[in-house]
Structure 1
Amino acid sequence: MKALFYIAQKYLFSKSTQRSVNLINYITFTVIIIGSAALFIVLSAFSGLRTYSLSYTNNYDPDFQISPSSGKFLKVSDDELQKIRGLDEVTYLAAEVREKVYLQFKNNSTIATIVGVSENYSEVSPIDEALFFGNWNLENNLSSIGIGLSNKLELPILNFENPLQLLVPKKGNLTFASQGIGSQPFNRAHVVVSSVFSLDEESDNSLLYTDMALVQNLLELHPEEYTSLIVRANNPADFKTIYAELRELLSEEIEIKSKEEFNAALYKMLNTEFAATYTVFTLILIIALFNLTGALITIIIDKKEQLRSIAQMGLTISHLKSIFFVQGLFISVLGGGVGLLFGSLIISSQIQFEWLKIAPNLPYPVNITAVNYLIVLVTISVLGSISSLVAAQKVSPRLLS
């Protein structure tokens, strides 16, 4: 076996007497370097985009969300809330009520989502860290609004003279006959905006946060009724344990979703994009490694006389095939390693100097991970092995005769 590796290594670094053979070998090696570098750069760029896309989710979304399995609202007593907070797996627990609401400020109006939150909401979802300006204070009918929604309503902060008006339909089937001609079909409330936040485009254009009690009164809810409970866990990966304990504590039928589950569409899109990107560049690598098959066959033909001499020394056809299989594997791994080195230098330069930008103040996000190195090396090794195996079949008794 050592002899086979020695011969393969010798053929790898030795030059042929024919310049065309050497040129083919150089081109093959260069193509593998470029292909592996390109795959690594694309994977690193995708990793950066994935990290950037999930940054808001990871920072502001809770680890778990508890909601009713049917209906809009979940009824949870104070005693049940205390028991949940007492679980070892639960770091923080908060509650929220979400509902569509009609907003009106002077001559401007729109439909938005109002979110009534408990006092410790920012411990689970630190939205107070995303404030564009103002202070996170929801007491005394104060609120926090998304920057897009604020611009749409042309709404200033701390405007106590002209507060923002909230309207939601009253409960039940209301008619003029039952309520009277002068009746109002809407529940109303007023809030003053104390801060403006900037999270993501959807949240910025649709969300208004305020005190839980105000929203519960507006929607005519019981103080123990919530849309959902949100949890910050010690170990989010231990989903089964947390799920079992919460099901045991809560009397109502509940649905528990992890961060990945209530952002399922985003994760599915990212995984699909990764699969598509990897597939496209793997196909490019497959085409590139056709050169390896051709180069090995050229080397086999060029070394035909030497192979005859080696065969006469006692090596079988199988041994000779192994020599060129190993040589092809050497070329693939060495080319892949050099390609990874070049790719790493390019990605590192982007991280250090930010020479490629999406916007003037936003560099293109890239991320170097061990997984990307492993993916490139495994891909190159597998495809290189297949190409080498195909080329090695050229060695036959007929060739040596």
Structure 2
Amino acid sequence: MKFPLYIAKRYLFSRSSNNAINIITIIAALGVVVGAMALFIVLSGFAGLKDFSLQFTNVFDSDLKVLPASGKTLSFAVNTEESLNDIEGIASYTRVIEERVFLNFKGKNHIAYIKGVDENYGTVNPIDSILFHQEWFVPNREEVVIGLNTAHKLSLGVRDYSSLLEIYVPKPGTGQINALDPTNAFTKQNAIVSGIYAVNEDLNGKYVFSDLEFARTLLQLDSTTVSSVELKLTPTASEEKVRGDVEALFNGVGRQDIQIKNRIQQNDALYKMLNSENLVVYFVGTLVLIIAVFNIVGSLIMMILDKRKDIKTLHSMGAELKSVRKIFFWQGTIMTTLAGLFGILLGVIAVWGQLQFKYVNITSTLPYPVQLTLLNVLIVFVTITLLGIIASKIASSRVRSALLN
């Protein structure tokens, strides 16, 4: 092991008598440096975009959400509330009523979801992080908070007492709707817009926030019925333990079948999309790196041909072909690894520079998001090392007995 490694290092750090081989080797090494740097920057950039996209779900979705396994509602009586307060690991919770509604304002229409929340909602989800204009609603005043897109679509401002927002929901039942007077089939509530929230393009037109009693009256639900219960966990809480305790609680109260979703499960489609895109980005970057790394094969083969006399001399001194192959295998592996490490170092400097100085912007006020993580360093390093080993193995296999003739 020491003999092939020693010779490999001598070959790697000494110049060849053939200047063309020196140039080709330098170009091959630079290709690996650029490829490693590019792959690291791309992965860091995508990690930043992923984190940037998910930060909206962190302020809008709770740590855990209790939903009915079937149907739209579940029972949440006073004794259930008291038992939920006794579960260790739950910092706070909020009751939610959610249903699709029809909005009308001065002849302009929009379909959204009413989201009735109680006074604890602000302790579970940070209201200040989503509120874009004016203020959150005051309970029992028939006030609502709408999304930015909804406000634009309805041309609806804040505190417009001259014209109220009309909210319609179909009345429960199976009777036919009278085509001459369809309003009889709907329950209607008027509301004042107290504020506007902004999260992202998808959510800004989806919800209308109201207090819990407003939503109950609109949907004609009793005081023990909710659509879901959102939970905020303490920093040291065990998610699995809290899940088990909550499931046991609801199974023991009326034998209710529930499902509990964490933040990832509440946005499983978004997470799957981002993970798939991350995988595609990695494969595309790796494909470019493969092309760069396999230039090493060509430079090693040329080095083998150039060192034919040295190979004959080593063989005459008793070195087996297996040991001679290891010389060039180690040479290629070390070259690829060192070039990859240098490329990663340059990538780290570039990403750190973006974090510190923000020299690349998406808009004039929004720097391109990047994330400097050890995981990306390890991914790129392992990828380069594996590709370098494969390329070096292929090149070193060209050392055959025919070279000794």
> Which of the numbers 379, 383, 387 marks the counterpart of 1:375?
379
Q: CA-to-partner distance for each residue in 1:58-97, whole Å, 9 max, x for gaps?
A: 2321111111111111111121122122211212211111
Q: Secondary structure at the match of 2:184?
A: coil
Q: Distance in 1 between matches of 2:182 and 2:47?
A: 60
Q: Distance in 2 between matches of 1:182 and 1:266?
A: 38
Q: Is the 8 A contact 1:117 1:209 kept in 2?
A: yes
Q: Is the 8 A contact 1:168 1:188 kept in 2?
A: yes
Q: Is the 8 A contact 1:64 1:259 kept in 2?
A: yes
Q: Is the 8 A contact 2:28 2:299 kept in 1?
A: yes
Q: Distance in 1 between matches of 2:239 and 2:349?
A: 39
Distance 1:397 1:182, change over 3 A: closer
Query: 2:153 matched to which residue of 1?
Result: 152
Give the structure-1-normalised TM-score.
0.94
Q: Distance in 1 between matches of 2:183 and 2:205?
A: 32
Amino acid at match of 1:270: L
Q: Secondary structure at the match of 1:260?
A: helix
Bigger drift between 327-336 and 317-326 goes to 317-326
Q: Is the 8 A contact 1:117 1:211 kept in 2?
A: yes
Q: Secondary structure at the match of 2:337?
A: helix
Q: Distance in 1 between matches of 2:262 and 2:38?
A: 35
Q: How does 1:65-80 map to 2 (within 5 A)?
A: 65-80=65-80
How far the C-alpha of 1:149 sits from its partner, in A, is: 0.6
How far the C-alpha of 1:345 sits from its partner, in A, is: 2.3
Q: Is the 8 A contact 2:137 2:211 kept in 1?
A: no
Bigger drift between 44-53 and 107-116 goes to 107-116
Q: CA-to-partner distance for each residue in 1:241-276, whole Å, 9 max, x for gaps?
A: 222211110131001112111211101111111111
Query: 2:311 matched to which residue of 1?
Result: 307
Q: Distance in 2 between matches of 1:182 and 1:264?
A: 38
Q: Secondary structure at the match of 2:362?
A: strand
Query: 1:338 matched to which residue of 2?
Result: 342
Query: 1:247 matched to which residue of 2?
Result: 247
Q: Secondary structure at the match of 2:102?
A: strand
How far the C-alpha of 1:361 sits from its partner, in A, is: 1.9
How far the C-alpha of 1:160 sits from its partner, in A, is: 3.2
> Which of the numbers 272, 276, 286 marks the counterpart of 2:280?
276
How far the C-alpha of 1:163 sits from its partner, in A, is: 2.4
How far the C-alpha of 1:311 sits from its partner, in A, is: 2.4
Amino acid at match of 2:287: L
Q: Distance in 2 between matches of 1:170 and 1:243?
A: 35
Distance 1:186 1:304, change over 3 A: same
In the alignment, structure 1 residue 141 sits paired with structure 2 residue 151: no
Gaps of 5+ in 2: none
Q: Distance in 2 between matches of 1:164 and 1:240?
A: 43
Query: 2:223 matched to which residue of 1?
Result: 223
Q: CA-to-partner distance for each residue in 1:21-58, whole Å, 9 max, x for gaps?
A: 11111111111111111111111111111011111112
Q: Secondary structure at the match of 2:93?
A: strand
Distance 1:151 1:183, change over 3 A: closer
Q: Distance in 2 between matches of 1:23 and 1:241?
A: 62
Bigger drift between 359-368 and 183-192 goes to 183-192
Q: CA-to-partner distance for each residue in 1:104-155, whole Å, 9 max, x for gaps?
A: 2233232221100011112112133221111223312122111111122222
Q: Is the 8 A contact 2:177 2:185 kept in 1?
A: no
Q: Secondary structure at the match of 1:232?
A: strand
How far the C-alpha of 1:186 sits from its partner, in A, is: 2.0
Gaps of 5+ in 1: none
Q: Is the 8 A contact 1:138 1:144 kept in 2?
A: no
Q: Distance in 2 between matches of 1:279 and 1:185?
A: 55
Amino acid at match of 1:55: Q
Q: Is the 8 A contact 2:293 2:387 kept in 1?
A: yes
Query: 2:127 matched to which residue of 1?
Result: 127
Q: Distance in 2 between matches of 1:182 and 1:305?
A: 96
